[in-house]
């Protein structure tokens, strides 16, 4: 495994964006802390030093790039597998990129692409709350951590090793995760407000579809929403 670790960096995704040409496929960049951590829609992603898992994985292999529609969801699902291994069982995937425990967010995934004429590389950024025990209330959804859920401090180095190995395994496999993923679909059957092309709609979620889009019912019409197309509130 190629792992580049920083004590501090602005943003692990940006490091890979700036250096992908000279780095190998599946290089992992991690940091104890980020000075400018970002989540989806440019929201800030705060994390105190050395308490959490903050890393990004570089994807250059064309066969994996082709699976880009599923990568954010498979990444979140990988974290779910690991949380279950640690004994956290009430865990769900909130389409397209959040991991939810007891209705609180424990992990987020930020998938970004570097494109010229075609996609040159993908970058999967993952922030998993591990030993953080206090969170600002300013986030859209309340946050939690492994420590808060398990009432014990987690060995971060041991966890890193398990997480990185599982990610590499799941990204490389041709296994179809769909049946496993639909079992932990947080939004299924919920009513959500969803912003699609600047229009706010109140829809009923049918669930994650086989192509990893989100199938929703808008009045009597069924539509499929692609990742990145929508932002939503429950």
Q: Are 94 and 142 in contact (CB under 8 A)?
A: no
Rounded (10°) CA dihedral 34, 40, 42, 48: -20
When the beta carbons of 74 and 110 are compared against ligand BTN, the nearer one is 110
When the beta carbons of 123 and 225 are compared against ligand BTN, the nearer one is 123
Question: Which residue of the chain is nearest ligand BTN when measured via CB?
Answer: 108
What minimum distance in Å lies between the beta carbon of 100 and ligand BTN? 11
Q: Which of 219, 58, 68, 81 is nearest to 163 (CA)?
A: 81
**53-61, 88-96, 181-189, 204-212 -> range binding ligand BTN (CB under 6 A):** 53-61
Measured distance CA(18)–CA(28) in Å, rounded: 14
What minimum distance in Å lies between the beta carbon of 217 and ligand BTN? 26
What minimum distance in Å lies between the beta carbon of 81 and ligand BTN? 18
When the beta carbons of 42 and 89 are compared against ligand BTN, the nearer one is 42
Window 96-125: residues binding ligand BTN (CB under 6 A): 97-98, 108-110, 125
Phi and psi for 84 in degrees, rounded to 5? Answer: -65, -40
Measured distance CA(2)–CA(24) in Å, rounded: 8
Can residue 34 be called a binding residue for ligand BTN (CB under 6 A)? Answer: yes
Window 55-94: residues binding ligand BTN (CB under 6 A): 55-56
Local structure of 21: helix, strand or coil: helix
Distant-in-sequence, close-in-space partners of 18: CB < 8 Å, separation ≥ 6: none
Tell me how far CA of residue 10 lies from CA of 33, 49, 67, 100, in angstroms.
Answer: 8, 13, 28, 26
The token pair that represents 122 in the structure block: 């993908």
What minimum distance in Å lies between the beta carbon of 107 and ligand BTN? 8
What minimum distance in Å lies between the beta carbon of 13 and ligand BTN? 5
When the beta carbons of 45 and 92 are compared against ligand BTN, the nearer one is 45
What minimum distance in Å lies between the beta carbon of 30 and ligand BTN? 8
Which residues pair with residue 41 across a beta bridge? none
The token pair that represents 41 in the structure block: 């829609």
Binding site for ligand BTN (CB under 6 A): 11-13, 34, 37-40, 43, 45, 54-56, 97-98, 108-110, 125-127
């Amino acid at each position: 495994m190629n792992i580049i670790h920083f004590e501090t960096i602005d943003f692990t995704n940006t490091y890979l964006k700036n250096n992908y040409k000279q780095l190998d496929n599946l290089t992992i960049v991690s940091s104890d802390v980020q000075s400018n951590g970002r989540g989806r829609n440019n929201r800030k992603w705060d994390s105190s030093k050395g308490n959490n898992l903050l890393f990004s994985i570089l994807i250059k292999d064309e066969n994996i790039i082709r699976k880009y529609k599923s990568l954010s969801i498979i990444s979140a699902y990988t974290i779910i597998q690991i949380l279950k291994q640690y004994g956290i069982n009430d865990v769900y995937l909130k389409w397209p990129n959040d991991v939810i425990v007891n209705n609180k967010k424990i992990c987020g995934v930020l998938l970004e692409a570097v494109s010229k004429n075609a996609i040159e590389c993908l970058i999967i950024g993952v922030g998993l709350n591990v030993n953080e025990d206090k969170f600002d209330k300013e986030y859209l959804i309340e946050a939690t951590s492994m420590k808060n859920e398990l009432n014990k401090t987690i060995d971060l180095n041991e966890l890193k090793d398990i997480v990185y190995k599982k990610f590499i395994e799941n990204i490389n496999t041709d296994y179809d995760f769909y049946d496993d993923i639909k079992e932990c679909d947080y939004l299924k059957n919920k009513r959500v407000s969803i912003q699609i092309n600047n229009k706010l709609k109140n829809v009923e979620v049918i669930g994650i579809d086989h192509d990893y889009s989100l199938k929703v019912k808008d009045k009597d019409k069924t539509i499929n929403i692609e990742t990145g197309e929508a932002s939503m509130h429950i």
